[in-house]
A and B are shown apart, each in its own frame.
Chain A
Amino acid sequence: MAILNEEQEMLRDMARDWASKESPVTEWRKVRAGGQPEAFSRDAYSAMADMGWTGVIIPEEHGGSDFGWLSAGLVIEELGKTLTASPLIANTVAASAIILGGSEEQKAAWLPKLASGEAIATLAIDESARHNPAAIETSAAGGKVSGTKAFVHEAHSADLFVVAAKDGLYLVENGQGVSLSSRKLVDLRSHAEVSFDDAPAQKLEGGGDDLLEQVLDRARILTACEMLGMAQAVFDTTLDYLKQRVQFNQVLATFQSLQHRMADLFGDLAQMRSAVEGGLQALDSGFGVARAATIAKAEANRVLHAISREGLQLHGGIGMTDEYDIGFYLKRARVLEASWGSTPWLRGRFAGISGY
């Protein structure tokens, strides 16, 4: 755990307390049973907004608290532990696009609403199933964008899309020229193909040539935070299970072959935590963000992948049942691994950044 200041500790404790009491995995089961395409509880999201979590990286002048990325990451990690479904990551990253690239008018129009939870925003970047920001065909002309975005996270609740076109990022309100087609993935969260057909759009003119990459790095790091929470939860649950399950008249935790597998995962988890916190600290310092984001997401992918597989295996048959939560983590894990950069893609990027 990074060394936190008092403010950050309070925020983390508050998020931990809320997630475990108000939003345990049973809450996700209720959302799932409800079958709504937006796949989260509006009440829960309002509660998050009331606690200020929707405005953590938004400047105070626009209604946020400007606590920074490490603070945002702490909250998201805690929510990841209990698989709390919400558009918090999507909204935070989309807000960061406006902060980085928006005009004063755009900031004033959107940031207060995104900070208060009154409106929700999300990113619409990729145009195929595999993350590839270099292959964008969506075009913009005369204040309108046209193109189709694949697997947009949290599309069903979005009031505002941050859309990548060939020449930059655009703000598009859900409405005229926008249509959604649901894509139900194994995690049963909100995903949709979103088509923009001459949809009215405003360009984000600021932020420089690499605005898209800057925004994607924020998506990579915050997604890695959710994955860290998930990995920690799977590890803790598995360890508890091994300590209570008896076979051959012994608790499983006494078997050395299992002890050493858990020790391996513990080491992996330590690396994952360091990489993710490194990403958040890079965002707060503004230094080495691309590299740190690549390391954070690549390690999150590697370690959550391993822990979600081993966690299920170590649970034995009971882990295969829908009654147990462990399967939810496995299914969500793969969706997040594939989002904003698969492991091979991230390795290629890392090599490029490192000059080989």
Chain B
Amino acid sequence: MATQVDSAAASEGDAFREEVRQFLAENFPAELKGKNNALASVEGPTEESDAQRQWREAMGARGWGTPTWPKEYGGGGLTKPQARILDQEMAKIGAFNPIGGMGVMMFGPTLLEYGSEEQKKEHIPPICRGEIRWCQGYSEPNAGSDLANLQTMAEDKGEHYLVNGQKTWTSGGQWADKCFCLVRTDRSDKHKGISFLLIDMDTPGVEVRPITMISGASPFCETFFTDVKVPKENLVGEEGNGWTIGKRLLQHERTNLSGGGSMARLMGASIADVAKHYVGTDADGRIDDPVLRDRIADFEIRWNSFLLTARRAVEESKAQGGVSEISSVLKKLGTKLGQERAEMAIEIMGLQGLGWEGEGFTDKELAGVRGWLFGKATTIYGGSTEIQNNIIAKRVLGMLDHQ
């Protein structure tokens, strides 16, 4: 019996694969092969070419940029095995998903879980079509690791909320259309006084200032709210339920921040190739420094077991449904390894690996330096490593709070 079911499923899979191939053949512009999308880029948006727009619109119309989201809100309505087939077929021809960003990675899944029917109908379809950029209004100058200490106030004015306060580290704030925000609706209770509010970035009273980081220009911004009027219908969930919704969203964020795939892309060439280029090889093709070779192998083994862990977490979450607290483990491991790799790359290159700008350095070398510096943020944002350790100890391991 089992084999009959399996083969039925397999033939359905084959039919779907054929459908995907046909769609890609008809819609993916050859000139975009191997290029990634503007929306998901950390450096910020670039001018969208005709081909890019055409590809985004084709995927958006089909809902395949958000393949497993419900069809009724503009998603693809695909099963997970079908979504995997879509990924595989795109990878085969150098195509990519042109629809990404915080709306897809964090906000959308959270709104699908907690939003009202009206909110889902309003906000999910533009995310699926890749038309709207979202940014995250969480951290404040005095609410970093202690996020629940946030003070941005949303005062109930009957028709609307009046928002005053300051957010920081609003990644991509300067390019965003909308912001999902944690705001305070009640000063009397630290956690239950927090609500989850959606704010249009072009509302009067919203001001965004980019922050210059140790790595130079960055997508991070400060965002100021001065007497900003926000319609009541932009509240997600109940008033005072923002901490629960906000934490759920962070689990999606952590899963994405640690995601082996995106980290691997950020890391570029293998560290062994960097060593071969800058240190050289012996007659047998080995890195010409046995100590360095040993350290690289040590790193690569641990990196590989991390990638296997990320894959295992995906498989387990598919089997069990939804993201889990393993996201804290992945975030902690992935970011630490990423930093270790960047430090090693710089060390291997010597002073050539420390160029800031100008002559004498390749673009790759300069990008590597900025990446190394920017990468220091990864163990701080999205809940610092120390916060992840607290979460693992308390929620996963059941170690009690300090009495």
Q: Is the CB of A263 within 8 A of B401?
A: no
Within 8 A of A (CB), among B309-330: 309, 311-312, 315-316, 319, 326, 329
Contacts of A266 in B (CB 8 A): 329, 392, 396-397
The answer for the CA separation of A350 and B285 in the assembled complex, in Å, is 14
Q: Tell which of B294, B326, B386 has the most Cβ of chain A within 10 Å.
A: B294
Which of A2, A243, A251, A347 lies in contact with B298, CB distance below 8 A?
A347
Task: Pull 27 A–B residue pairs with CB atoms less than 8 Å apart, ordered by A.
Answer: A2-B312, A251-B400, A256-B390, A258-B399, A259-B393, A259-B397, A263-B332, A263-B388, A263-B392, A266-B329, A266-B392, A266-B397, A267-B329, A270-B326, A271-B333, A274-B306, A277-B312, A295-B304, A298-B301, A343-B298, A348-B294, A348-B297, A350-B300, A351-B296, A352-B286, A356-B272, A356-B275
Q: Is the CB of A272 within 8 A of B305?
A: yes
The answer for the CA separation of A7 and B125 in the assembled complex, in Å, is 43
The answer for the CA separation of A201 and B140 in the assembled complex, in Å, is 75
A310 to chain B, nearest CB (A): 14
The answer for the CA separation of A271 and B329 in the assembled complex, in Å, is 10
Residue in A closest to B284 when the chains form the complex, CB atoms: A352
Q: Does A128 contact B (CB under 8 A)?
A: no
Q: Does B199 contact A (CB under 8 A)?
A: no
Q: A254-B399, A274-B305, A356-B276 are known contacts. Are A262 and B393 too (CB-CB below 8 A)?
A: yes
Contacts of B300 in A (CB 8 A): 350, 354
A231 to chain B, nearest CB (A): 13
The answer for the CA separation of A344 and B398 in the assembled complex, in Å, is 36
A200 to chain B, nearest CB (A): 40
Contacts of A354 in B (CB 8 A): 272, 297, 300
The answer for the CA separation of A347 and B300 in the assembled complex, in Å, is 9
Contacts of A348 in B (CB 8 A): 293-294, 297
B residues near A (Cβ < 8 Å) are 272, 275-276, 281, 285-287, 293-294, 296-298, 300-302, 304-306, 308-309, 311-312, 315-316, 319, 326, 329, 332-333, 386, 388-390, 392-394, 396-403
Q: Is the CB of B389 within 8 A of A263?
A: yes
Q: Does A299 contact B (CB under 8 A)?
A: yes
The answer for the CA separation of A278 and B301 in the assembled complex, in Å, is 12
Q: A239-B397, A274-B308 are in contact. List 20 more A-B contacts (CB 8 A).
A: A2-B312, A243-B399, A243-B400, A254-B399, A255-B402, A259-B390, A263-B332, A263-B392, A263-B393, A264-B389, A271-B305, A272-B305, A274-B305, A274-B312, A278-B308, A343-B298, A347-B301, A351-B294, A355-B272, A356-B281
A241 to chain B, nearest CB (A): 12
Interface size class of A (residues with CB under 8 A): 35 or more
Q: Interface residues of A: mostly helix, strand, loop or mixed?
A: helix
The answer for the CA separation of A256 and B315 in the assembled complex, in Å, is 31
The answer for the CA separation of A239 and B397 in the assembled complex, in Å, is 8
Q: Tell which of B281, B306, B333, B389 has the most Cβ of chain A within 10 Å.
A: B389
Contacts of A350 in B (CB 8 A): 297, 300-301
Contacts of A242 in B (CB 8 A): 399
B63 to chain A, nearest CB (A): 27
Q: A3-B316, A356-B285 are known contacts. Are A262 and B293 too (CB-CB below 8 A)?
A: no
Q: Tell which of A262, A274, A277, A354 has the most Cβ of chain B within 10 Å.
A: A274
B275 to chain A, nearest CB (A): 7
Q: Is the CB of B389 within 8 A of A254?
A: no
Q: Is the CB of B298 within 8 A of A275?
A: no
